[in-house]
Amino acid sequence: MSLAFVFPGQGSQQVGMGKALAEAFPEAGAVFREADEALGFPLSKLCFEGPESELQLTAITQPAILTTSVAAWRVLAARGLRPAWVAGHSLGEYSALVAAGTLSLAEAVVAVRRRGQYMQEAVPVGQGAMAAILALDLPGVEKACAEAAQGEVVSPANINSPGQVVIAGHAAAVDRAMEACKAAGARRAVRLPVSAPFHCALMRPAQSRLAADLAALSFRDLEVPLVNNVDARVVRTGNEARDGLVRQVSASVLWQPSVELLVKEGVDTFVEVGPGTVLTGLIKKIAKGARTFNVDDPSSLAAWTTAAASSAGA
């Protein structure tokens, strides 16, 4: 078995996330206490109890998902469960780098809180938008965006899986691109309930601000190789990891190519570490022969460890 741990990004948050892990495993509870101390406010309470309206704020969502993901990873690590590879979707790349020993939890949780603030402040609410385009290939989406831009910004933001591309940009341009995609044969084009247009050129002000913060951190070389978002290539050094985190803010998330590279490298089992099963669903569409699991509470941990033990004994 060649194992990759993959870590979810924004959109996987839900009230109650991490609570069962923190109650069942001391190492998970310690992660939430570390994050609360680093941030100076009770993030754990927002994760466990909400309110949902506050948990949905980008500057809260990002550290909340990272903390929950790292808590799940610490539980796995405490049981000697270690991957050959790591990757994360957008924000999830920070969780992956904590797991790879590049950043501490405290460093990462402060960085992603600022990342969320910068991304939210880059574009006034209502001026940007994102939309999911279903069942239209990437060249078709790119052509529709080019036609719809009309001097504004709209481009592919997330290359998620065969038949699922997310676009981002100015709200009016996104609306035009949605219509162009449907005219080109897309089965659906759906506006996403997000507060900012992530992973497009409108995020460059946020990228510049984040670059200064990340430059002040010491990125250690990776103990486990990462396949990064911005290039879908293998990263092993701290400097490469930092560079990828900076550039990913305004660049497309190359999730499908990243998973395809992991499969090419021999990965046959993917474990989504953190809240939800978004990545598990995408991987099933990209790597049809791979085994997929998720770990975000005691029952899902038990399900995977049982399956892993069964596979090892087969």
DSSP helix/strand/coil, 192:
coil
The distance from CA 35 to its chain's CA centroid, rounded to whole angstroms, is 18
Give the C-alpha separation, 314 to 308, whole Å.
10
CA atoms within a 13 Å half-sphere pointing along the CA-CB vector of 271: 29
DSSP helix/strand/coil, 65:
helix
Residues with catalytic roles: 90, 199
Inter-residue long-range contacts of 120-125, CB under 8 Å, 24+ positions, other chains counted: 120/57, 120/58, 120/59, 120/195, 120/196, 121/205, 121/206, 122/196, 122/202, 122/203, 122/204, 122/205, 122/206, 123/196, 123/197, 123/202, 123/203, 125/195, 125/196
